[in-house]
Structure 1
Amino acid sequence: MDHHNYISGTVKLGVSFGVVSLLARWVTGNTILSSPQTLIQYGLIGGIGYSLVGAFCLILFGLLAKKIYGDFPNQQTIGDVLQQRLTANGYWCMMTVLLFTSLCSLFIQAAGAGIVIHMIFPIPVFLGMLVFLSFCFFIGGIGGMQRLHQLAGVNVTVIFAAVLIIPVYFFIQDGIYPVYDGIKLYHPYLFYIKNTDAFWFIFTAIFVFFGQILIDPATWQRIFILKKSKIRLTFALTGLIWATIPLAFSSLLMIVLFGKGFENIYSLFPELVNKIQSTVLILLFVVFCLSAIASAISAELTATTSLFVKNIMGVFHTPTNEEKWKYTILFSGAICLVLLIIVAIQSPAPVKLLFFFGNIYAAIISPMLMIILSKKVQPFIVPFSAIIGASGGSLLLLVMDDFAAILLSFALSTIICLIVLLYRFLNNKRIASQ
């Protein structure tokens, strides 16, 4: 098979399948684990805000996506675009950031899978992750975009079946008012609407989520396989539909919360499985969790491997089709092996990881906007400003909270990019006056 099909598949996607493909990428371990944790930590305002932020960022990126496709119609990856818009040093700087964030994102998803396996199955995490990552390797590491397209429809069907059928099943049994009264009695803080931390979370999450989408190789791959006239509509519908999923999943946890306290958010998952009772619904819930995370990991694995083979190895020499497949199998296999070892040793909370790397996502926004919106080759300082911003924000985590550090990371890189724009403007004005 031609390696080109591994990266881009064989057909252009319309609205319906484009939405399915994007949902299969963005309904992730964070959606499953972070949305209920956000609900507990920041109340209903935080839970609703989490959903709206994700929708807003997908819709906003859709506005840029059509320009990206119009300016680079014959490209396949984000690396192809960076190669055209950056100097050699700037290109390698940004590719380093991309590879680092992609591997970190894969780790976050694998950590989520490890948590779900530990909570639901009475088996060692290592054994469960071995089976799980082997599946992801064959789908995303070897199968590529074609295999992802074949399974995307099934994955999204399972997701919506779970988030629609299970809550309805419980609310029909217990009723809405008992759930409301129980939460008001045991967890009244969930209804507190003047929680300033929740609004800080929502505001900061916009920078983190938008930055994550801006440099997500899997999302960029999908831009180039969508029909140009359908890109904005596809991203808009994806955002609106995605927003319903974390809300629905949070409602699942409220079914367990309404009658009791809890030790931590993850202790509620086994209780939810026990409360479901119906074997069919338990199976649906388990398949939903693992299917969503497997789909996200497989999509990221395909995108990261494509980036490595085409935009890193391909720069040094032009490999044959057989060599591309060899590099693909070796690189994706190595990633899965490393993920297996790390997750088996340590599985941190996804929300903490998301905001730990949030400094990088926030710092990358302005440099990427300059690369996308400008028609000129950007100097080295533009991509390097992302590293400066992320480093500055990370250092100040020692003396300030996560939210302030993330906003500072964004501010630092933005100031540097504005200085570059101002210098260009003044230089052009000086040349024109001569």
Structure 2
Amino acid sequence: MKQGVYQHYIQGGIKFGIAYGVVSLLARWITGNTILSSPETLVKYGLLGGVGYALMGAFALFLFGWMAPKIRERFPNAMTIGDVLQERLSGKSYWFVLMVLLITSIDSLFVQALGVGILFHLIFNIPAFIGLFFFFIYCFLLAGLGGMKRIHRFEGLHISLIFAAIIFIPVYFFIQEGVFPVYDGLHLYHPYLLFLKNSSVTPFILTALLIGFGQVLIDRASWQRLYIIEKTKVRTSFMMSGFIWATIPLAFSAMTVIAIFNQGYENIYSVLYELIEKIDSLFLTLLFIGSCFSALASTIGAELHATSIMVVRNMVNVKKKWSEQNQLKKTYFIAGILSLLLFIISSVLTPNLLELIFFFGQVYVAIIPTMITILFYSKKVPTYLPYCSLVGWVSGMISLRFHSSIYSIWVSFIAAFLLVVIYIIFNEIRYHYRVKRL
């Protein structure tokens, strides 16, 4: 493949086997949510909640991996999710789904940026905006200018730091403190974490599984990797990534337990500070900090790269028809603008990440029936079918005024699912009626 062309920027010019496919997927999905939301889930729902959070990502990657070979067979010439949508949709339906993807892209980047801001605030004794500025410069140079080839070069380093941290830090503490003192401390200070009959855990886990699948199903970066991994190895790569990913939230939950087993805490973010305070080894402290920012940098880099490409290749260039070099320059520009916006947002705002995930979860679950139909419906996608997801989302938002976010997410999904099924049945009946008349 010729150096410098836009296709090389998108795919990096190589095909992955299972090993590097798994590394690349883990680099995308070990995120700021994994670091910050898994401890929050543990504190809110107990040990079973931590296990449920781990199952969320594993189930999502496993299920998408099961679908992946069929997607590759049906859309062999695509490189992005936008390419598939261009092939299957037209007119306003296409632009509606693209806008949903853009909104969820910005949401995903926004959540990661908030995670960066929180970690800089907790870890360093410098104004957060200084650290954030250099962090986003790094992400822009890595993914915005470097493209997929440079992302590949750093993924191995990022994953190595993350796994080194989740292995060495818990082992170090459990060797020092022992397992039973940690258990006794939890029983004394935080007995609710050991309670296994919490009735709210099961709805949380089921809802998290649904949200996780919706996130992976429309994730721009995962779709790029779907077409970079060798076709015969794509299913195994996604499924293995799911199994391995499940260990990461469990490891961060173990670190949370280490931080609080013999004391209280002010809020969930202070737990990470307490953990750093308890690490009396400079090497392990640096390893933990390096793992946190490796996870955030690899995730933001992958999302920044994929979102910029989607905006230029599948939105703007649909009408402009630029040359590849021109598309490349415009992608650099969009990546720079997104990096600047992320820097500003993460310098100013610090909302609750878990609540933010569940708020946008309505969008993720409402789009699932539409995307499944786009991918696997044998006939042309009915013109107004994507708007079933909009109705589902509105239904969920209305129910949010009377019920919890978990309940409203299921309202969004069920409403969208039923509307899609009814619309397809109606379309089939109309099709057979026309055939009979002919």
TM interval, short-chain normalised: over 0.9
Q: Which runs of 5+ in 2 are unaligned?
A: none
AA at the equivalent of 1:394: M
Measured in 1, the distance between the counterparts of 2:129 and 2:7 equals 34
1:133 is matched with 136
| Shift, 1:363, TM fit | 0.2
Measured in 2, the distance between the counterparts of 1:246 and 1:80 equals 33
Q: Which runs of 5+ in 1 are unaligned?
A: none
| Shift, 1:345, TM fit | 1.2
1:412 to 408, 412, 415: 415
1:336 to 336, 339, 347: 339
1:302 is matched with 305
1:65 is matched with 68
AA at the equivalent of 1:196: S
1:363 is matched with 366
AA at the equivalent of 2:402: V
1:318 lines up with 2:326 in the alignment: no
Alignment of 1:201-280 (within 5 A): 201-280=204-283
AA at the equivalent of 1:159: I
> Conserved in 1, the CA contact under 8 Å of 2:46 and 2:193?
yes
Deviations 1:40-61 (A, max 9, x none): 0000111101101210111001
2:107 is matched with 104
2:153 to 150, 156, 176: 150
> Conserved in 1, the CA contact under 8 Å of 2:382 and 2:424?
no
Question: RMSD of aligned C-alpha atoms?
Answer: 1.1
What TM-score does the superposition give when structure 1 sets the normalisation length? Answer: 0.98
> Conserved in 2, the CA contact under 8 Å of 1:208 and 1:361?
yes
Measured in 1, the distance between the counterparts of 2:127 and 2:179 equals 37
| Shift, 1:402, TM fit | 0.3
Deviations 1:146-201 (A, max 9, x none): 11110111111111000000100000000011001110111111111111111110
Paired residues in the alignment total 434
1:82 is matched with 85
| Shift, 1:432, TM fit | 4.9
Identity %: 47
1:47 is matched with 50
Measured in 2, the distance between the counterparts of 1:111 and 1:394 equals 24
> Conserved in 2, the CA contact under 8 Å of 1:84 and 1:377?
no
What TM-score does the superposition give when structure 2 sets the normalisation length? Answer: 0.97
> Conserved in 2, the CA contact under 8 Å of 1:72 and 1:81?
yes
Q: Specify the SS of the correspondent of 1:400.
A: coil
Alignment of 1:22-37 (within 5 A): 22-37=25-40
> Conserved in 2, the CA contact under 8 Å of 1:38 and 1:50?
yes
| Shift, 1:26, TM fit | 0.1
> Conserved in 1, the CA contact under 8 Å of 2:15 and 2:229?
yes
1:21 lines up with 2:21 in the alignment: no
Measured in 1, the distance between the counterparts of 2:143 and 2:399 equals 37
Measured in 2, the distance between the counterparts of 1:134 and 1:388 equals 39
| Shift, 1:408, TM fit | 0.5
1:185 is matched with 188
2:350 to 347, 352, 362: 347
Measured in 2, the distance between the counterparts of 1:142 and 1:3 equals 12
Measured in 2, the distance between the counterparts of 1:16 and 1:257 equals 36
Measured in 2, the distance between the counterparts of 1:345 and 1:221 equals 31
| Shift, 1:276, TM fit | 0.5
1:164 lines up with 2:164 in the alignment: no
Measured in 1, the distance between the counterparts of 2:9 and 2:230 equals 19
Measured in 2, the distance between the counterparts of 1:133 and 1:388 equals 36
List structure 1 segments (4+ residues) > 6 angstroms apart after TM superposition.
Answer: none
> Conserved in 2, the CA contact under 8 Å of 1:66 and 1:231?
yes
